Amino acid sequence: MARPLLVIEDLNKSFGALKVTDQLNVEVEEGECHALIGPNGAGKTTLIGQLMGELKPNRGRILFDGHDITGLSQARRVELGIARSFQITSVFLDFTAQDNVILAAQAAQDHNFRFWGRARRHPDLRAASQRYLDRVGLGAAAQSRAADLAHGALRQLELAMALALEPKLLLLDEPMAGMSVQESRTMTDLLKSLAGTKTMLLIEHDMDAVFRLADRITVLIGGRALATDRPDAIRSNQDVRTAYLGEGDHAGA
């Protein structure tokens, strides 16, 4: 049995009367792709916020790689090896695709209070950038301004940036959001190719993708974990069916 890389213990977060995370316990094992599904408002994105350190939980602990990271800053978490992608594409629009990835790659090196040398001419950074762009299939668009890229390409760029941080854990917040069927499939293949090499926590509404990618699935409803199990077990779980899948059609979610 693989050891857990990420442990969420009794996590609670509320905004006023609204509980967005409610006594949540989840373990993500090293090397697995762990999917998090649930209807809108189930508290998936706010959970990512808490894992990244953007939001402070009201109670509970988050353990990562043996460290208690509950009180750590975002920067420290990234240093320890957590990276995320955003549900709504969030890149540096005025920069080229290459610059975007250079920024991620140099973040991984962590000596950036360098005021002199020209960052864009740094051979290692350029090479690393190109490698990750190739990896996500954007190699040809390296010199395009991010603002000029199509939506699907931007999603790929997001992923390249997250990968360039060389994280131990990837938090993927709906990587397929807004993609065409074709783009979705390409992205799923890409993520599939990472399976086993990267630990991933995946939030996704595209159930085909989830069931193709996930090693385990946690179903989140109202901030609580309804069930955590292997995909086929989830598919046949009666509670899940009634509460969530039972509605039959998830496309509107």
Partner 1 sequence: MTFWPPSRPTLIVLIGAVLLLLLPPIAEALRQPFVISVATRVVILALVTVSLDLLIGFGGMVSLGHAAFFGAGAYATALLTQLAAAGKPLVWGWVPPVEGLAVWTIAIVVAALFGLVIGALALRTSGFNFIMITLAFAQMVLFLASLRELGGDDGLRIPVRNTVVGFSIESQTALYYVSLVALALYLFLCDRIVHSRFGLVLQAIAQNPRRAHALGYRVYSYRLVTFVIGAAGAGLAGALIANHARYVSPDLLMWTRSAEIMIMVILGGKGTLFGAVLGAAVLLLLEEFLIGLTEHWQVILGPILLVVVLTARRGLFGLLAGSRGGGGGHG
Residue numbers at the binding site for partner 1 (CB under 8 A): 52, 54, 73-75, 77-79, 83-84, 86, 90-96, 99, 102-104, 106-107, 110, 112-120, 122, 161, 165
Smallest distance, Å, CB 188 to partner 1? Answer: 23
Q: Which residue has the tokens 């894992």?
A: 51
Crossing angle for the helix pair 181-194 and 151-164, to the nearest 10 degrees: 10
Smallest distance, Å, CB 242 to partner 1? Answer: 36
Dist. CA 55–CA 57, nearest whole Å:
6
Q: Which is nearer to partner 1, 77 or 135 (CB)?
A: 77
Q: Which is nearer to partner 1, 52 or 63 (CB)?
A: 52
DSSP-assigned beta bridge partners for residue 18: 15
Q: Which is nearer to partner 1, 85 or 237 (CB)?
A: 85
Smallest distance, Å, CB 210 to partner 1? Answer: 23
DSSP-assigned beta bridge partners for residue 195: 198
Dist. CA 164–CA 160, nearest whole Å:
6
- The backbone torsions φ and ψ at residue 41, rounded to the nearest 5 degrees and listed phi first, read 85, 5
DSSP-assigned beta bridge partners for residue 34: 201, 216
Side-by-side strand order, sheet with 169-173? 82-85, 169-173, 199-203, 33-37, 216-221, 224-229
Q: Which is nearer to partner 1, 16 or 115 (CB)?
A: 115
Smallest distance, Å, CB 23 to partner 1? Answer: 27
Q: Which residue has the tokens 């890229």?
A: 149
Q: Which is nearer to partner 1, 104 or 225 (CB)?
A: 104
Smallest distance, Å, CB 178 to partner 1? Answer: 18
